Chain A
Amino acid sequence: MTALVANLAVRLGALDLDVALEVDERGLILVGPNGAGKTTVLLAMLGARRPSRGRVAIASDVLFDSADGIDRPTEERGLAYLPQNYALFPHLTAVRNVAFGIRGPRAERLAKARGLLERLGVGAVADRHPAALSGGEQQRVALARALAPSPRALLLDEPLAALDVESRGSVRDFLVAELRAQHRPFVVITHDRDDIRAFDAPVAVIERGRVVQRAEPGALPTSAATSFAARLFGSPGAD
């Protein structure tokens, strides 16, 4: 199994981040309060934040190693990123958003992008701009765009947070099934206990830049390390 391994120390303003994470095809759920450093972990894996020291590798391919002076640029890391607001390019139609990451002749790229959108159930809106899409549609287009270059791993920052309650459940089921089918390591940041249950992946709780608790899927801990973890893992319906 391919694994994404990250040991990262990042100092950024008030944040002092120092975490060790290992992600395989079962995925990893990253939870923690606001400001804990979850997004910074993803950005550092991508190479958009420079760690003061650490190492990031996928399988045997080293993406960053402060000891060896390795720092591969973001575009060569092969990691897909789905930020919280999806960050669809507002000036491009859905199909052009997806085609952005595909190489080859123009017609071929657009055809591939269209095919990908159809597979994800949003072929009908391929020629619309992001502003004219619903939240669920935006998420599917963003997922199609992230998958288009065949990334080696996917990093998703609160992929369901922007959705309303009605669409959240169905989009979640879709996302879980799609990520499972990919057989690639993925990291999902979330605040939501239903998300944790649905993704059924190992969990790491981050608080103030440190991993304070880990849990295996299906075996959420009965003793919580911190009050945040207690609220998260506590009795069903507690929040």
Chain B
Amino acid sequence: MLNRALVRDVLDAALSTGGDFAEVFVEDRYNTQLQMVGGDLEKAVSGRDYGIGIRIFRKLNYVYAYTNLDTRDSLIEVAKTAAAALPGASQNIVINLSRIAVEDRHPIKVLPETITKQQKVDLMTRAHLAAKNYDEQISQVRVNYMDEDQKVLIANSEGLDVEDRRVRTRAMIQAIAAKGSEKQVGFYGPGAAMGFEFYDTIDIEEYSREAARTAITMINADLCPTGRMPVIIDNEFGGVIFHEACGHSLEATSVAKGSSVFSGKLGERIASDIVTAIDDGTIPNAWGSQNVDDEGRPMRHNVLIEKGVLKGYMIDGFNARRMEMEPTANSRRQSYRFAPTSRMTNTYIDGGQSTPEEIIANTEYGLYAKYMGGGSVQPATGDFNFAVREGYLIKDGKIDRPVRGATLIGNGAEILKRIDMVGNNLALGQGMCGSMSGNCPANVGQPMVRVSEILVGGQKGDQ
């Protein structure tokens, strides 16, 4: 992608002052984004992202610079400008790049560029029709399609020289139901680290009908009551609760500086003993997988929590220095425009013993969150909030009636201890995770879990 002699010279220029480590990240990416509203293809954009990021460490400080210009003069100048921020005598580090061949664990069968735009539009039309025709109360359907083909070169002053190619695609279906002036939204967004063959492995119309069913169920639902109650969160995208409320607090970004509630708690019990949590960037062709992380380390299967005990954090190369621990191949970034940092890949609560039927039958009163919406967390405190996309009240061990407008409010550290049932139906769901190094594709996941008590915010007021 870039002449290796030039890469080495750029690394040399980056270490011409006090730096003790330098890295070059070259990215050449081709993106396609299509948007269909009401069956009409309204937006079609495609193009090429191209840039080079240069990162330099000096002990616990770092400098990051990037440019789109890949001429020798430009790159050397950018490297020197960045190096000037770390004044000091050069450490005369000798750089010998040695190319590492990476085993491709995520083979692509049909590259997106070999599929015409019209074939992609045809897929979207099928998705649109399946949602639109589901029910006459479906007033609007939006379908977004994306694919990307990212080629990266990562080289550093320790001699690492590795290339990776990441191909991803995703279709996002939003179905809107209307009744009078009220509207409710259902959503499904399946995606994978695959080419266009992904759509042969799923039934896109099934996802559309499910999004439409959610919207219809919610438009006809009562307002959710407010109060503390047991909450059952179903599998797949329900894992967003762990992702937001706990996962972010296990990233070195917040752990290294002691600002996470889980800082210094390795080996301690932080969750109930039926909770085991994993971050695994190696799952073949999964949405959050790749061959190497954005610092060039082969992806790993990392146990975060084992039977309630904190076993590990997600650590990038820079924060590893402050923590004096080994990196875990969790360094990720949206693009060359971001310095990488510790991020989740495919993160999930592992499967347990209970069947979903048992969990519901054992709950006298509470909320059943069939689908979760998004959420956010304040890493320093662990306080979180999540929207429930499709919820039901549970009465006497049975699913009673649907309720809408519910939000789950709580604290990550507390909720982990309150998980009192874990189901056996583990599944993963796709999301885009936003943090310091930008938006990264990430799988969340879990089986059905029950939390003994969460504050549920609804519009109905006190029950």
Asked if A and B are interacting partners, one says: no
Q: What is B's interface to A at a CB cutoff of 8 Å?
A: none
**A interface residues with partner B (beta carbon < 8 Å):** none
